Every structure is written in structure tokens, then in C-alpha cells.
Amino acid sequence: MTTTIKNLLVELFVEELPPKALKKLGDAFAGVLGEQLKVQGLASADAVITPFASPRRLAAHVTAVAVRAADKAVSQKLMPVSVGLDASGAPTPALLKRLGALGAEASAVAGLKRAIDGKAEALFYDSVVPGVDLAVGLQKALDEALGKLPIPKVMTYQLETDCELPGWSSVQFVRPAHGLVALHGADVVPVKALGLTAGNTTHGHRFEAAVDPVVLKDADSYAATLAQDGAVIASFDDRKADIARQLAAAAAQVGGGCQPIEDDALLDEVTALVERPNVLVCTFDKQFLDVPPECLILTMKANQKYFPLLDAQGKLTNQFLVVSNISPADASAVIGGNERVVRPRLADAKFFFDQDRKKTLESRVPALSKVVYHNKLGTQGERMERVCAIAETIGLQLGGPELAARSLLAARLAKTDLVTDMVGEFPELQGIMGGYYARHDGLSEEIAFAIEDHYKPRFAGDELPRSITGVVVALADKLETLVGMFGIGNLPTGDKDPFALRRHALGVVRMLIEGRLALQFHELTRQALAAFPAARLQDKSVELDEFLIERLKGYLRETGFSGAEVDAAIYARQLGLWSSIPQRLAAVRAFAALPEAPALAAANKRISNILKKSEGEGAVVQDRLLQEQAEKDLHAAMQATVPAANAQFEAGDYTASLQTLAALRGPVDAFFDGVMVNADDPALKANRLGLLKQLHDSMNRVADLSRLAS
């Protein structure tokens, strides 16, 4: 039998899909549909799956799909021989029943195969399973694809009255569906979905399609036919690339080195809103440029989905780009309409900005006491006082009274923009507006930067605060959040982290390391806890320490260090200053490359195990009790080597310290070859343990070298 191989196209035509979910919906629909066809043998393993997604359609094109899958030889285990055959070799009722369930007659018993399965011999039935027809297999694949769509929110709607399902039948889907296409080559595959029966027609652009409905000749002409007859670019990626090209061309037409603002999320959203994009240049009144650019950019992007234009210096201009879904011969009406729409938005931003500057940030401090932060942690006013206390303590440690005073002032004002009109309208601008209002109040740039930056780093890869005052306030703010949330039991679980505690912890890690701060992390968590009323929180300092250490390990692994290197540098509670960890990790990597490293790491592991079993024994080394030549040689080598290694460690040259200690490899090997540590004489045993303890302490100042042992 010859199997017909053709390309397949499936399209579901629906009402406007959620723009922020469109790309994910399109990829999921095509991906699941194609994989299900492969699983059923209808599509080859190397078949190419192409997704299509526009505001009103989800589609998939799959190459090399068979009209019927090939038959497949199957060997099925039935049961152990002892269960299927009686003593005389005749089939038991259990075997006959099992064969009957598979559609086989009793005569098939003679053809059953025997093979060892585990410890017992079993009976196997060989058969040929007919390949599935495309109509059946595609129906299954389509049902699976629709069932697994990552739908943000399902809606229930009544089926159209002219569909095959009469009465008040209703279905659930992300949006009402109005058309289904399934073409194998030029042939319609009779599948159904959401009360629809597949055909070969779809619909194009609401206003600009050349014909309606759009008739599809075959699967391969789908995209071209939609573009020509339907005025729709069906591919999400092609549409996105076309918008990006038009944006760049429009900016070049404006001139002056202008560029549209880069925002991939906005570009994706706009791509999901239009079927055939047309980029137009619009203008707003220059008076609005007196408003902070962040406000104007945010309102244009978030509310209108516009692309603001920046000049060659990166400053906001009074022009912006609109991605229209229509292409009239005269675009002036479209341009004018968008300019009229954006004006009141910008006027609102200017009004908020002007009104907010009539009150100082200091005058807004009392209003924080009327804003609830958390029902178990009090108001924003109480939170502000805690952050102030923590910031003042950290400021004293890092820079004395002057830094403490600046940090206290910045912490006191940092949250006051939460009660301004601008931040009330645009919460994304918190911190940023506080910086602008601080400058308007005559405060220094240091204070303004600290207020603006105290939320940083806001996300992975974000920059750190620009000033030491900003770092102090940001640390205090994040520590207050971490200690408070841990103290009331709001810990992250699985992928749920509603208070972004992992992000806050990573921010603490980055500031301590990248800022090279001379602060002990475990002291910071205790200082933050002390800022809370005694009875309000449980003391979760130990759990928080472990949480921070896990974030530290993850951060270091992401910077390129291996798990073994990280574990070596971060061991027990001997972490020291986190600012020194990158240098210690570099030293560990350099040490691991030395030829002496494997033997010394293995010896270190052995010493660790010996000392664990003999905890409390051995404290000092007495020269008179050194009897074996190997222990004398090791003691002498340590006296010659360890002081130099310690001096290098104290100077912060961790690499040199470990390399100096590498000279002990020979004496260490000789010691374990020729000396019995657990001697019968208690004095000798204690002395040898003391020698090993001194060696262990010296070798593990930089890192736990035993973690490098294989």
C-alpha cells in the first residue's frame, strides 16, 4: 500500500486573543499538534512544525504528514507461563480471556512466544497494529492541542445556532471560535473542534481583506493567500520583524539620529494587536517635555502602546511612533486621532507632577502611617521607622556618623512618593518620582539618588544603587522585608514567591559582593531583627541565613564557578566577608589546577573525617612527643610554610596562600604512609591529632579543600 505524504495546515479562527498571551498560545498550539502527529506515526520525526499566530487565529503547518500511519509490529506481554498454561500445556481461562481482549482467537495460543521476563518465563503475543488514519489521528492531536493551551482565563460562550449541535450547547475556550481549517495538501480533513467542522475557508483583515471569505487552495499556500487576499501577515515572527523594520525606517525618516525606545515586551504586545502593521509618526506638544521623561514614556507605552522616539543623546523627543492596523491612502486622520488621544494622557501626567511638587516629601511622612503595609507588620510609617533604624546602623558601620545621617534622611523619605498622585496613577514610578521631588525640595543629589535607587536591583542584571547612601538604604529596605516576611511565616514555596523574597535576597548578595562591603551577613540579619518590636516576629534568623546562602551559591554558579568550587569556598559558617568570596573562589580554581591539589584535597578530606571522630581531642603540639620521622618532618614543614601562608591570607592574597601550602603535599603523604594517628599511647594520639588540627585549620582558611576531593 502506498502512503500519501503531504503537508498539513490547521487553523482555528477566533475572536481577538489576549495580546500578552498570543505568542505563547501560538507556539503551544502548533507544538502540541505537531508532536502528537509524530507520536502517532502520521508525521516523521524530522517534520518541520511552523506556528502562526495573529490577533484572530492560531495555526500550524506541519511538513510530511501521511494520510495513514504505517502499520506497526507489536509484541505484548500477556502473563507468566505458569499462569497462562496449566500442567499439560493447555491454555488457562485467564490466558483465553486476555487474548480475547486483544481480539485474538484461542488458535493464537500455538503462536505465542516464550521469553524470560525478570526471573520468570512469560508469554508474549506478536501482532500488527494497523496505522491510524489521518482524520482520526488529527482529531486526537487537535483535541490534545486545544486541551493543553496555556489559556490565561477561560470564557464560556453559546454555540452559534447554525452549528451541528442544536439547542443551548455551550463550550469553553479563551475566546469564541468561528472557523476551523484542516488541509492535507488540498484535501479537507474532516475534523471537528469547539462545535466547528473543518473546511478550507478563513477570514482576513476586518477592513482591508480583498475577499471574504478567503479560500485556501492548499496547506502550503496558507501564508501567501492570507497576505494577498486577506491582508494579514499570519506569522507572529514575520509580523514582529516587519514592525521592527518599519519602526527603524520611520525613525530614520524623522532624522537627527532618532531611535524608537527599545522594549521587546512592548514589541511583542503590539505584534499581537495588529494583523498588517503600518507605522506612523505622530507628535505631541513640546510643553509636556517639562514632565519627567519616565512619566511620559510610561503613559505612552503602557496606556497607548506607542513607541516614544529618543534623540541621538537618548533624550525623549516630542515625537512618537504608532503601529496602526490599517493602511489608508491618507493617514492624516489616523495620525490626528492618535495625537488627540495621547494629549489628555500627557496632560494628566503634567497635572500630577505639578500638583505633587506643591508639597515637600517631608510633609508627606505622616501620611505613611495611614497606608497599610501588611496586616501583621503594620503601616508604611512603621516600616519606614524600621528601615531608618537599620539604615542608620549600617551607615555607622560603613562610614560613621556622616553616612549614618545621610542614610537616615534618605530612608525617612524613600517611601513618601507612595502617597503622591503620580505614583498613585503609575506605581511603576515609585522611587523614580521620589528622586525628582527630592531635587525639587532642594535636597542633595546623594539623597535624591538614594531615594531613586533604593529599590535596586529590581531584577536580574539590574544595576546597583549609584551611591553608598543608596546602597545602605537599599540594603536596609531589603533586609527589613526579608526579616519581616520570614518572621511572620511568609516564606517562598516552590515557584510561589509573592513578596519577591528571592529577588530581595539576591539584591543583598549582589550589594555585599559587588559593592565590596565590609559587613558580616549574619550580623545584618540580627540587626534587622532588632528593629522590630520584640513580640511581633518569630526569630527566623537561622532560616534566613540559609536562604541567603542558597541565593549566594546560585549567584556564584551563574557567574561561572562550578558547584565544587562554590561548595569549597562556602562551608559551614566560616564565610567571613562575602566581599572576599570571589577572590577566594579564584584562589580555589588556581589551586585546583596545581598537580599537588588532588592529593592534598584527598588528605584534607581524610583529616576532616579523623577530626570528626576525635572531636575534643588534641589541642596543642608538643615537640617532645614527636617520635616518627614523618611527623617531625611534617611539623617542621608546617613551621616553615604556614606563617608565610597566613601572612598572604591576611594580606588578601588567597591564591598565593594556597599555592604556598601546596608545598606540604610531600610531608602530608609521608605522614599518612608512616604514622599511626590512633596510637595506643593517649599522649601520642592527642599530639598527632593536634598536629592534624593545626594543619587542617591552616589549609582551610581560604576554602574547604576537602570539597575538591573526587
Confidence band, pLDDT 50/70/90 cuts, at residue 168: low
- What does each C-alpha distance from 80 to 99, 342, 487, 611, 700 come to in angstroms? 14, 77, 59, 56, 60
User: How many angstroms separate the CA atoms of 558 and 162, rounded?
Assistant: 58
Q: Rank 170-179, 449-458, 514-523, 616-625 by mean pLDDT and report only the highest.
A: 449-458
Q: Rank 124-138, 538-552, 693-707 by mean pLDDT and report only the highest.
A: 538-552
Let me know whether 514 and 389 are in one domain.
yes
Does the structure show a pLDDT above 80 at 160?
no
User: How many angstroms separate the CA atoms of 396 and 393, rounded?
Assistant: 5
Q: Which of 229, 255, 290 is the last residue of a domain?
A: 229
Nearest to 223 by CA among 50, 19, 66: 50
Long-range CB contact pairs, 285-294, < 8 A, 24+: 285/318, 285/343, 285/346, 286/318, 287/350, 288/318, 288/346, 288/347, 288/349, 288/350, 289/316, 289/318, 290/350, 291/346, 291/349, 291/350, 291/353, 292/353, 292/432, 292/433, 292/436, 294/429, 294/432, 294/433
689 versus 438: which is more confidently predicted? 438
202 versus 616: which is more confidently predicted? 202
Q: Which of 129, 157, 173 is the last residue of a domain?
A: 129
Let me know whether 190 and 297 are in one domain.
no
What residue type is assigned to position 689 of the chain? L
User: How many angstroms separate the CA atoms of 439 and 417, rounded?
Assistant: 13
Tell me, what's the pLDDT at 121?
Answer: 86
User: How many angstroms separate the CA atoms of 138 and 41, rounded?
Assistant: 11
- What does each C-alpha distance from 551 to 353, 543, 546 come to in angstroms? 39, 13, 9
- Give the chain's radius of gyration (CA, Å): 36
Tell me, what's the pLDDT at 573?
Answer: 42
Let me know whether 53 and 140 are in one domain.
yes
User: How many angstroms separate the CA atoms of 564 and 430, rounded?
Assistant: 41
Let me know whether 543 and 601 are in one domain.
no
Does the structure show a pLDDT above 80 at 518?
yes
Residue 587 is assigned to a structural domain of this protein: yes
- Answer whether 591's CB lies under 8 Å from 645's CB: no
Q: Report the CATH number at residue 491.
A: 1.10.3210
Let me know whether 529 and 644 are in one domain.
no
Tell me, what's the pLDDT at 47?
Answer: 95
- Answer whether 414's CB lies under 8 Å from 380's CB: no
User: How many angstroms separate the CA atoms of 199 and 182, rounded?
Assistant: 6
Percent above pLDDT 90 for the chain? 61
- Answer whether 256's CB lies under 8 Å from 311's CB: yes
Residue 306 is assigned to a structural domain of this protein: yes
Residue keyed to cell 472557523: 179
Taken as a whole, the chain contains a residue count of 710
User: How many angstroms separate the CA atoms of 206 and 105, rounded?
Assistant: 60
Global confidence as pTM: 0.79
Residue 576 is assigned to a structural domain of this protein: no
Let me know whether 400 and 519 are in one domain.
yes
User: How many angstroms separate the CA atoms of 610 and 692, rounded?
Assistant: 9
Let me know whether 427 and 535 are in one domain.
yes
pLDDT average, residue stretch 663-687 = 87
What residue type is assigned to position 625 of the chain? L
Does the structure show a pLDDT above 60 at 279?
yes
Residue 256 is assigned to a structural domain of this protein: yes
pLDDT tens sequence across 11-65 = 999 999 999 999 999 999 999 999 999 999 999 999 999 999 999 999 999 999 9
Let me know whether 545 and 503 are in one domain.
yes
Does the structure show a pLDDT above 80 at 441?
yes
pLDDT average, residue stretch 210-233 = 96
Let me know whether 465 and 553 are in one domain.
yes
CA–CA–CA angle 553, 557, 561 (5° rounding):
115
- Does residue 344 have a cis bond before it (omega within 30 degrees)? no
Nearest to 154 by CA among 194, 191, 205: 194
Residue 183 is assigned to a structural domain of this protein: yes
Confidence band, pLDDT 50/70/90 cuts, at residue 350: very high
Q: Which of 208, 229, 250 is the last residue of a domain?
A: 229
Confidence band, pLDDT 50/70/90 cuts, at residue 10: very high
357 versus 707: which is more confidently predicted? 357
pLDDT average, residue stretch 135-144 = 94
User: How many angstroms separate the CA atoms of 269 and 272, rounded?
Assistant: 5
Does the structure show a pLDDT above 50 at 163?
no
- Answer whether 186's CB lies under 8 Å from 217's CB: yes
pLDDT tens sequence across 454-482 = 999 998 889 999 999 999 999 999 999 99
Q: Report the CATH number at residue 56.
A: 3.30.70
pLDDT average, residue stretch 131-139 = 91
Tell me, what's the pLDDT at 415?
Answer: 97
Nearest to 112 by CA among 76, 141, 140, 143: 76
CB atoms within 10 A of CB 596: 17
pLDDT tens sequence across 58-97 = 999 999 999 998 877 777 888 888 888 888 888 888 888 8
CB atoms within 10 A of CB 124: 14
Let me know whether 515 and 451 are in one domain.
yes
Residue 353, phi then psi, degrees to nearest 5: -65, -45
Chain-centre distance of CA 484, in angstroms? 25
Q: What is the mean pLDDT of the chain?
A: 90
Tell me, what's the pLDDT at 626?
Answer: 87
User: How many angstroms separate the CA atoms of 449 and 438, rounded?
Assistant: 9
Let me know whether 546 and 434 are in one domain.
yes
Let me know whether 118 and 194 are in one domain.
no
Residue 362 is assigned to a structural domain of this protein: no
Q: Report the CATH number at residue 703.
A: 1.10.730
Chain-centre distance of CA 22, in angstroms? 20
Residue ranges making up the domain that contains 84: 72-129
pLDDT tens sequence across 532-554 = 998 888 888 889 989 999 999 99
Residue keyed to cell 508532536: 35
pLDDT average, residue stretch 419-428 = 95
Percent above pLDDT 70 for the chain? 97
Tell me, what's the pLDDT at 572?
Answer: 42
* DSSP at 499: T
Domain count, the chain: 5
Counts of helices then strands in the chain (DSSP H, E): 26, 20
Residue 572 is assigned to a structural domain of this protein: no
What b/e sequence results for 8-29 when a residue is b if at least 16 CB atoms lie within 10 Å of its CB, and e otherwise?
A: bbbbbbbeebebebbbbbbbbb
Residue 497 is assigned to a structural domain of this protein: yes
Task: State the DSSP H helix or E strand holding residue 116, giving kind and residue range, or none if neither.
Answer: strand 113-117
Question: Burial of 140 by CB count in 10 Å (0-12 exposed, 13-18 middle, 19+ buried)?
Answer: middle
User: How many angstroms separate the CA atoms of 382 and 527, rounded?
Assistant: 17
